[in-house]
Amino acid sequence: MKIKLFIVILFLFSCNTQKINNYSFKNKDGFSIQKLDKEDLNFSREENFNKTLAGKVSGLQILDSSSSTFELNEVMIRGERNILYLVDGIKMEPNEINTSIIQSVKVIKGPSAASLYGNEAVNGAILISTKR
């Protein structure tokens, strides 16, 4: 009886949590990932991709630029700047991203993205899948 109970407890501790109501989850590799589907993103006439992520990803901050300049909004994940943007595996700048063709967005937080995508992703990565 004790052995069976011990095995069940070990099994429950080894299970990973999954996505529930758009919250972050940890996959088997331990990366903190948050996925947003097209329904989760509100692209109502918003051409700036960074602004579409505002308030939808935990740990992500959008720093508005001054309205008098044409600078882009800056994105920080967990306080770090210089985030890697990949659209279908191709590196792009956030101002080049067409929001009308986005299917889903995955945000990999922190230095764990560097083990997947190299040193450019040491501060995090935003992976965008488009409609094909």
Domain ranges of the chain: 18-130
Encode pLDDT of 50-79 as tens digits. 778 878 888 888 877 655 555 667 777 776
Q: How confident is the model at residue 129 (pLDDT cuts 50, 70, 90)?
A: very high
pLDDT of residue 121 exceeding 70: yes
pTM of the model: 0.70
Residue 76 has what DSSP assignment? E
Encode pLDDT of 11-47 as tens digits. 444 444 444 444 444 555 566 788 888 887 776 566 7
pLDDT of residue 122 exceeding 70: yes
Residue pair 78/109 in contact by the 8 Å Cβ criterion: yes
Q: Output helix, strand, coil percentages for the chain, rounded to the nearest 5.
A: 25, 30, 45
Q: In which region does residue 120 sit, left (phi positive, over 0), alpha (psi from -120 to 50) or beta (all else)? A: alpha
pLDDT at 86: 94
Query: Quick one: CATH architecture of 18-130?
Result: Beta Complex (2.170)
* Surface-to-core class of residue 85, CB atoms within 10 Å of its CB (0-12 exposed, 13-18 middle, 19+ buried): buried
pLDDT at 88: 93
